[in-house]
Structure 1
Amino acid sequence: MATTHRTDIKIAVELDENRVPEKMAWTARDGGVANEPAKSMLLSLWDHQNQEAVSIDLWTKDMPVDEMQVFFHQTLVGMTNTFRRATGNDKMSDTMKDFCDYFAEHLNLKKE
């Protein structure tokens, strides 16, 4: 029988009196990350039983809008690359990449 290994990824969120995130930090010991600060996170998990995605989307109240736009763009690019690797569907991946380029252009995220 193969040896298995378990690892944990932890996300700590500090909330204000209105339960709005003020600080976040994450730890992934196997990845060499310990209590690394973060201003925003998007986490999606697949619920096989209900055949639906469940998600947690959080950002701190001091997350600047311009950084949020960059964060979303980079997340969309990452999802596009993951979709290509996971499905091998180059046609849809290319369409998604075109949207990422459109998104960046219309938010003036492209660097000269």
Structure 2
Amino acid sequence: MRKTQITIDVELDENHVPENITWNAEDGGIQKQDTKAFMISVWDEKAKEALRIDLWTKEMPVDQMKMFMHQIFVSMGSTYQRATGEDDVAEWIEQMAEEFAIKSAIKM
């Protein structure tokens, strides 16, 4: 069995607020790539619930956080479609993403 690693390094200030975030992905050739935010979800099979970590630096602009969230919603729709084959629900998720873009003033 082959293994690979994806790592995330978070530098915190004296108040434990993220100042810098970098990530590495061995197979993708990514080393110390700067980022301002990340969200990770994992499935806890025993508890039947999603566990997540979401962090962003204090330098992450609000307008970019809105765009980040919008893109996550869009990708959730396509991931849901690939995982379940339920086109109608995937389309509903994508419509919700578009409504989010309008309400959050990303899209007019």
Q: TM-score, normalised by structure 2?
A: 0.96
1:39 aligns with 2:36: yes
CA RMSD of aligned residues (A): 1.1
User: Please, which runs of 5 or more residues in structure 2 have no aligned partner?
Assistant: none
1:88 aligns with 2:80: no
Residue 29 of structure 1, aligned match among 26, 29, 32: 26
CA positional deviation for 1:16: 0.3
Q: Distance in 1 between matches of 2:76 and 2:94?
A: 10
**Equivalent residues in 2 for 1:1-112, closer than 5 Å:** 4-110=1-107
Bigger CA radius of gyration: 1
Equivalent pairs counted in the alignment come to 108
CA positional deviation for 1:110: 2.9
Taking every aligned residue pair, what percent have the same amino acid on both sides? 44
User: Please, which runs of 5 or more residues in structure 1 have no aligned partner?
Assistant: none
CA positional deviation for 1:29: 1.2
Superposed structure 1 runs of 4+ greater than 3 Å apart: none
